[in-house]
Amino acid sequence: MTPRKPTNSSDEGMTNTSPVGKTYSFEATLENWAEGMDYCAAPVPTEITKALGTKAAVLVMARVNDSQPFKVSLFPVGGGKHYIRIKASVRRETKTKTGDRIQLRIKVLDRDDVEIPDDLMMAMHADGVEEAFMSLSPGKRNYIVRRIEDAVKPETRDKRIQEALAAAKKQR
């Protein structure tokens, strides 16, 4: 791949300074983030981190090369920098490994916009914890929902729903 300057786009004519809805495209090298573990991430260019206007985690919909879109948070690493974790399933899909150059496309999502899966909603209703769950911070709700949606096995999904219920009960 030939190096390209990061690009961004947003709705024309908008004066909103929020990064929500903005898209960015950049190339990066996939790095191993945990010795002896299959945990990889890629650095987000400084100019994109600056454009995001936050040192906190940022929820995005991402694509690596021509992968299926996936939700992930850009995570802060200090010094005003962010990285993006690239799940093993995405690396398998794109046939990429540590050291490879990858093309990333990200769209900043609204943390407050959390779509609750039906099975989680039914479980919360049965336990009477919908209000407590909704009082969790948007980032926490998104994290819980993403973990449930990322479960491959039904028993893992059920376990994570029980963990979500426990988090809601603890919030009461």
Q: Residue 117 corresponds to which tokens in the numbers above?
A: 């899966």
Q: pLDDT by residue (tens digit) across 113-148?
A: 778 999 999 999 999 999 999 999 887 888 899 889
Q: What is the pTM of this model?
A: 0.70
Q: pLDDT by residue (tens digit) across 64-78?
A: 999 999 989 899 998
Amino acid 90: pLDDT: 93
- Rounded Cα distance between 13 and 44, Å, is 26
The alpha helices in the chain, defined as continuous H runs, are 46-52, 88-94, 118-127, 130-134, 138-150, 154-171
Ranges of each domain in the chain: 7-108, 118-171
Superfamily (CATH) of domain 7-108:
AF2212/PG0164-like (2.40.30.100)
Are 40 and 28 within 8 A, CB to CB? Answer: no
Start-to-end Cα distance in the chain = 51
